[in-house]
């Protein structure tokens, strides 16, 4: 484990004026915060969390919604974990936004492995913070308490993907306890990876089905957008497709064999059609071989 | 002074070298010595010869017997010299007429009761004898090869038969080709897997190497086993090439002689020598045994990295050159590579029913174990998903192996009519010439390369596959349709 040394380190105790106000109001606010980067970035933010074993759907949702929020000037708070968390951080960085990573180990300890570059970038464009002293090694139980901090540092928490049981689900519980607004991206009823998210919806969490709904919720809780992100983010303008193959992969991610069977088409036609759609930038192939729609903001 | 020379032969790599067995029976203390770089098995011939000669009712002279195997510097291996030594001894002591071995190459192992066993490489010896305008004197057991055109073969099953010289020549009839499938594995047996079947059809038509990715039990092995059934039958030259390699390795060669392409599936614990050839005496490896056929590497990432890298030369050059003190030997290795891999160590990444237990980093690194240089030789990569059980009970509505083979043959004719060589090895300007892209498809290809961040090699692979798809489509030009279909078979790292 290497240390992040380039950016500035800071420590904040609960009575410091720079101590994040949103966190201070919660009962579990830690006595001391250790961080690297800019302490001023610890304003009340927008948390984006999701499964580590994310599906392409979760990653795309994190990319779209965190990307839009960052571009609009909100601070993206997440846990630095692989999967949805890192997708949210990356989306924030790609859209020149501010982002805060809350770690379950010392803020100077790189975990998960391989996140050095990402955490470096987060420290330069926000902060990497932890309630644990410098050099604390990662441990399972610290990551559960870390989730409280993620909820505490923000006014709105968005769950992009959660299975059952999951740490993400626990984070949502903390957020509800602390009186935060919890938003959820609905998932497929067939996907076990979406069970947790869909249960949160049933329990009364607010569904997010487009950027405009997220915009309304963030405006209520955090104030209006500071920058106009542009029109390409919305899903509103996407017309239902006459193309059966495109329509099929939009509803659920499928392999060519599944598409051919679902549409009763022969494999050659499907393979050529899906290849053509990919050439046109309308669908993407995921690492597991399934195809899904390209989100609107990535088409350009 | 009684002497006799009998022509025998030894195998060096895949070559058959003539060896003269000189037997001298002379005065001196009774002894039996074999000289001329014999290995242990050749030395042991003394005991077998002594017993067999007596069992056949002949006498072993109570004299000094010296056997010299010439040329001296060549190392002699194995038990194939037994018969030549015994006959040399019997001729030198005038118990058998010299006409028994006249114009013959003598190869065979003796058993203690005087009967004669065959040794690995009988087919190779027979062909070498034919090339030297000699007959092969040896045990029965050449099977189909006995019918090979121009082959003179004298069968001897027991040493006692050498009393009646000359030994009858077996009639040699012209060999009639009759391609047939031995195990009857047919693509018609496979329900679902339409994309995989299509990919294998393209692979067979263009001679491309493929990699199948899918969870355990999804049918990767089942699919691979059926690839030989859609490859064109072996032609006369290929049959002999493959049969000789199998014969020397001590395997049944009749399948190859009947035109069935070999299918070799070495386990992932195979050593480098086992894969590409080696050992002492050097034997052909799995890559050579799969010559003109299919080499199937199941669980490809589990193979040792050194073993996989050792496959690079055979894949690129179509042969392996082994250098030994005695000289260089070449083993041909023109095979279609079919790799199979789990998507991750636990095997269930992307599976619809079972959750993957691997961390994302581990899963991503797993396939990269195969290594870039080898992946570069694989044109088609595709997923093999576990098939819905309901589908297994339904009858397959896909193409049968024979229908697929017709498409393969037709498409191969098209490709060879171009005169640019096999599609799977086209590169650079040759590849562009073969594809005849028009303006719009060239633009689409450029767009695809940019959009998917394809490397130069990635574009080459894409175009090769597109060329074969066009051949299957009876199209002289590669169009956007063909590029679109080929795009679905690109490697995982080109996502």
| Beta partners for residue A45, in sequence order | A154
Per-residue pLDDT tens over the stretch B448-481: 888 888 888 889 999 999 999 999 999 999 999 9
A253 and chain B in contact, CB less than 8 A: no
B448 and chain A in contact, CB less than 8 A: yes
CA A49 to CA B132: how far, in whole Å? 79
Cross-chain Cβ contact A112/B361 below 8 Å:
yes
Cross-chain Cβ contact B194/A52 below 8 Å:
no
Average pLDDT value over all residues in chain B: 87
Give the pLDDT of residue B213: 92
CA atoms within 13 A on the CB side of B29: 1
A267 and chain B in contact, CB less than 8 A: yes
A278 and chain B in contact, CB less than 8 A: yes
Chain A residue numbers with beta carbons less than 8 Å from the beta carbon of B361 are 82, 112-114
Pick from A177, A124, A118, A186: nearest CA to A152? A177
Give the pLDDT of residue B144: 61
Mean pLDDT of A104-127: 90
CA A74 to CA A93: how far, in whole Å? 12
How sure is the predictor about B255, in pLDDT bands with cuts at 50, 70 and 90?
A: confident
| Assigned token pair, A188 | 């497929």
pLDDT higher than 50, residue B174: no
Cross-chain Cβ contact A288/B350 below 8 Å:
yes
CA B201 to chain A, closest CA, distance in angstroms equals 12
The Cβ of residue B83 has, within 10 Å, a number of other Cβ atoms equal to 31
A243 and chain B in contact, CB less than 8 A: no
Give the pLDDT of residue B173: 42
Chain A residue numbers with beta carbons less than 8 Å from the beta carbon of B463 are none
Per-residue pLDDT tens over the stretch B401-415: 999 999 999 999 999
Query: A98-108 in b/e burial notation, b at 16+ Cβ within 10 A?
Result: bbbbbbbbbbb
Say which residue the tokens 């830690």 belong to. A30
Cross-chain Cβ contact B364/A287 below 8 Å:
yes
Give the pLDDT of residue B393: 66
How sure is the predictor about B252, in pLDDT bands with cuts at 50, 70 and 90?
A: confident
* Nearest CB to A279; choose among B195, B444, B495: B444
Give the pLDDT of residue B171: 47
Chain B residue numbers with beta carbons less than 8 Å from the beta carbon of A273 are 484
CA B245 to CA A13: how far, in whole Å? 78
How sure is the predictor about A240, in pLDDT bands with cuts at 50, 70 and 90?
A: confident
How sure is the predictor about B356, in pLDDT bands with cuts at 50, 70 and 90?
A: confident
Per-residue pLDDT tens over the stretch B414-456: 999 988 888 888 888 889 888 899 888 898 888 888 888 888 8
Handedness of CA B472, B475, B478, B482 (dihedral sign): negative
Average pLDDT value over all residues in chain A: 89
Give the pLDDT of residue B177: 44
Mean pLDDT of B172-191: 61
Testing the interface with B: which of A269, A285, A288 to mutate, by most B Cβ within 10 A? A288
Q: Which of A77-86, B91-100, B151-160 has the lowest mean pLDDT?
A: B151-160
ipTM exceeds 0.85, yes or no: no
Burial class (CB in 10 A: 0-12, 13-18, 19+), B450: exposed
User: What sections of B281-400 are H helices per DSSP?
Assistant: 286-289, 305-310, 312-317, 360-368, 372-375, 389-393
The chain B residue lying nearest A276, using CA atoms, is B484
Mean pLDDT of B373-390: 86
pTM, 2 dp: 0.85
A255 and chain B in contact, CB less than 8 A: yes
- The more confidently predicted of residues A253 and A4 is A253
What's the order of all strands across the beta sheet hosting A45-50?
A: A9-13, A32-37, A126-130, A99-102, A76-78, A45-50, A154-161, A181-184, A206-207
pLDDT higher than 80, residue A289: yes
């Amino acid at each position: 484990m290497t240390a992040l040394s380039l950016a500035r380190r800071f420590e904040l105790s609960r009575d410091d004026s720079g101590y994040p106000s949103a966190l201070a109001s919660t009962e579990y606010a830690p006595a001391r915060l250790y961080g690297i980067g800019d302490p001023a970035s610890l304003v009340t933010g927008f948390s984006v969390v999701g499964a580590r074993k994310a599906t392409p759907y979760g990653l795309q949702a994190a990319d779209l919604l965190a990307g839009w929020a960052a571009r609009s000037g909100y601070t993206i708070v997440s846990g630095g974990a692989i999967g949805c968390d890192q997708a949210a951080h990356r989306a924030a960085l790609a859209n020149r936004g501010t982002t805060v990573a809350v770690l379950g180990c010392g803020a100077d300890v790189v975990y998960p492995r391989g996140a050095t570059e990402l955490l470096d970038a987060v420290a330069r464009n926000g902060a990497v913070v932890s309630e644990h002293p410098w050099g604390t090694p990662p441990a399972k139980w610290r990551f559960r308490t870390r989730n409280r901090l993620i909820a505490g540092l923000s006014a709105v928490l968005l769950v992009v993907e959660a299975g059952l049981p999951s740490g993400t689900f626990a984070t949502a519980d903390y957020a509800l306890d602390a009186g935060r607004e919890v938003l959820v991206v609905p998932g497929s009823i067939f996907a076990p990876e979406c069970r947790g998210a869909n249960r949160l919806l049933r329990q009364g969490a607010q569904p997010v089905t487009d950027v405009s709904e997220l915009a309304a919720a963030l405006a209520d809780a955090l104030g209006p957008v500071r920058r106009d992100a542009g029109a390409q983010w919305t899903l509103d303008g996407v017309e239902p497709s006459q193309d059966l193959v495109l329509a099929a992969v939009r509803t659920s991610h499928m392999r060519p064999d599944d598409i051919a069977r679902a549409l009763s088409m022969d494999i050659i036609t499907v393979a050529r059609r899906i290849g053509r759609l990919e050439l046109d930038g309308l669908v993407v192939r995921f690492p597991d071989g399934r195809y899904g729609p390209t989100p609107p903001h990535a088409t350009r | 002074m009684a002497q006799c020379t009998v022509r025998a032969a030894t195998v060096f790599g895949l070559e058959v070298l003539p060896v003269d067995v000189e037997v001298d029976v002379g005065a001196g203390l009774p002894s039996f010595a074999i000289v001329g770089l014999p290995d242990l098995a050749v030395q042991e011939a003394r005991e077998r010869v002594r017993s067999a000669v007596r069992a056949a009712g002949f006498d072993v002279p109570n004299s000094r017997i010296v056997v010299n195997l010439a040329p001296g510097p060549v190392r002699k291996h194995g038990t194939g010299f037994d018969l030549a030594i015994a006959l040399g001894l019997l001729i030198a002591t005038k118990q058998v007429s010299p006409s028994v071995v006249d114009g013959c190459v003598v190869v065979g192992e003796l058993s203690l009761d005087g009967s004669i066993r065959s040794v690995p490489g009988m087919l190779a010896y027979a062909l070498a004898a034919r090339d030297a305008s000699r007959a092969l004197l040896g045990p029965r057991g050449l099977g189909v090869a006995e019918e090979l055109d121009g082959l003179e073969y004298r069968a001897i099953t027991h040493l006692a038969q050498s009393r009646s010289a000359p030994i009858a020549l077996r009639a040699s009839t012209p060999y009639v080709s009759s391609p047939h499938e031995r195990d009857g594995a047919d693509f018609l047996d496979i329900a679902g897997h339409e994309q995989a079947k299509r990919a294998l059809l393209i692979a067979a038509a263009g001679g491309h190497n493929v990699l199948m990715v899918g969870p355990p039990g999804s049918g990767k092995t089942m699919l691979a086993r059926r690839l030989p059934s859609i490859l064109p039958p072996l032609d006369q030259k290929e049959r002999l090439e493959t049969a000789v390699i199998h014969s020397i390795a001590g395997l049944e060669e009749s399948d190859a002689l009947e035109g069935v392409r070999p299918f070799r599936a070495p386990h992932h614990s195979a050593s480098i020598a086992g894969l590409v050839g080696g050992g002492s005496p050097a034997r052909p490896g799995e890559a050579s045994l799969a010559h003109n056929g299919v080499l199937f590497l199941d669980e490809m990432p589990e193979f040792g990295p050194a073993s996989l890298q050792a496959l690079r030369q055979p894949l690129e050059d179509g042969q392996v050159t082994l250098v030994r003190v005695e000289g260089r030997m070449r083993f041909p290795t023109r095979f279609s590579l079919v790799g199979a891999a789990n998507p991750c160590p636990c095997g269930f990444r992307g599976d619809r029913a079972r959750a993957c237990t691997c961390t994302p980093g581990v899963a991503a690194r797993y396939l990269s174990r195969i290594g870039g240089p080898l992946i570069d030789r694989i044109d088609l990569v595709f997923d093999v998903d576990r098939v819905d059980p309901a589908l297994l009970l339904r009858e397959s509505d896909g193409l049968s192996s024979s229908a697929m083979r017709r498409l393969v043959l037709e498409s191969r004719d098209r490709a060879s009519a171009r005169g640019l060589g096999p599609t799977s090895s086209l590169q650079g300007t040759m590849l562009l010439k073969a594809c005849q892209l028009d303006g719009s498809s060239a633009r689409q290809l450029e767009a695809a390369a940019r959009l998917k961040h394809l490397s130069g090699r990635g574009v080459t692979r894409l175009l090769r596959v597109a060329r074969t798809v066009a051949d299957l489509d009876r199209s002289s030009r590669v169009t956007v349709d063909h590029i679109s279909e080929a795009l679905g078979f690109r490697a995982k790292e080109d996502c």
